[in-house]
Structure 1
Amino acid sequence: MGYYLADGIYPKWSTIVQTIHEPVGPKKKYFAAQQEACRKDVERAFGVLQSRFAIVKGPDERDLDAPIGIGREAPPPEVQIPDNEDNRFQEFLSRFRKIKDKEAHFSLRNALIDHLWKKFSNNDC
């Protein structure tokens, strides 16, 4: 399962790694600085996309008076009934619980902190 770097407004889920607002110690300070640098890179890239593509900047504005697909009907959706619907639902619930697991959130963040620190301390800086 992948993860996303985020700031403090997001929930503590196993797929979201938040920064440390007041890091104590060199490992956590290094992690917070690296995450902030990544976040700034993403914000800069998103700014470039916004400046070049209007659809990213805001809602897609269209001619509100234009007709909406008159004469064109969409094909009916295909409905597939799963063989074992209860099994699929239980799998969904299991994945949902794993995503919302706060302990997994802190475990992932601590593992990332350790990984970055080992990488940093092995460099010839």
Structure 2
Amino acid sequence: MHWEWKNCPTAWHGEYQGRSKKPTVILEAVASNDMWIWHHFFGLPGSVNDINVLDRSPLFNDMLHCTAPQVRYTINGQAYNSGYYLADGIYPPYATFVKTIPNPQSEKEKLFAKFQEARRKAVERAFGNLQGKFHILVSPGRLWHLDDLKRVMTACIILNNMAVEARRQNAPPLPSPLPSTEPVTATLAPGPTPAVMPVSLGPSGERFRAAFQNIRNNTLHKKLQENLIEHLWQEYGNGTIE
């Protein structure tokens, strides 16, 4: 999402000029299906593309420093210990990204592409919801300092998440899921707390490199996609797609 910066310093106009030919600031976000925003990174110039935003983003910092909560789940009989994000085609084939299939051939691939593309729109709905609730994000930012824009964006996201949490508490119980031959199971185990860890006990260079390589592992990316394709076919291959 791009937020136009009306009072961007004149000397910065070229750097912050986005696709609209006006100075903008980029918001990167990760959102769940109910529009709760789990991660946001705001402040890069509008001229930066999505790949460069990802390269500068702290999205994977906890995983790289081995402080992320441990997530354990099973898909198609394969155990995993780290989460994944639904992403569009421009993003690289990382083990933590699940992308659609551009030209699906088989019925299994078509089903997977339909599910992935539908669920991936959650972040776009979250952006629209954020702008709908807070008109300040629709109007050009009139603040002079980037740090002030960041504070406004953070405040809006916090208020948005509070509203989502309130809606969760008032929501009726979810309907029972469809019968499954092999359901996806997941448990969340708390990871180490960085605040109480001695500085000297940080991850070694080898652990950091291993985590970095795991995140960018193309083979794991492909295997996860294959397992998700099989799982979705087992769940919804009879044509009953929600």
- The CA deviation at 1:84 is 5.4
Are 1:107 and 2:223 counterparts? yes
Report Cα offsets for 1:1-36 as digits up to 9, x if no partner: 110111110000000111000001000000000111
Unaligned ranges ≥5, structure 1: 65-79
Code of the aligned partner of 1:32: A
How many pairs were matched up? 109
Alpha-carbon RMSD across the aligned residues, in angstroms, is: 2.8
- Using structure 2 for the length normalisation, give the TM-score: 0.39
Are 1:118 and 2:234 counterparts? yes
Match of 2:110 among 29, 38, 51: 29
Distance 2:117 2:111 in 1: 10
The structure in which a higher percent of residues are helix is 1
Query: Which has the bigger relative contact order, CA under 8 A and spacing at least 6?
Result: 1
Distance 2:126 2:118 in 1: 12
The structure in which a higher percent of residues are strand is 2
- Using structure 1 for the length normalisation, give the TM-score: 0.72
Instruction: Could you list the structure 1 runs, at least 4 aligned residues long, displaced by more than 4 angstroms after superposition.
Output: 54-61, 122-125
Distance 1:22 1:81 in 2: 50
Are 1:83 and 2:200 counterparts? yes
Distance 2:139 2:226 in 1: 36
Code of the aligned partner of 1:95: A
| CA pair 83-102 structure 1, distance change in 2 beyond 3 A | same
Unaligned ranges ≥5, structure 2: 1-81, 146-196
Distance 1:60 1:89 in 2: 42
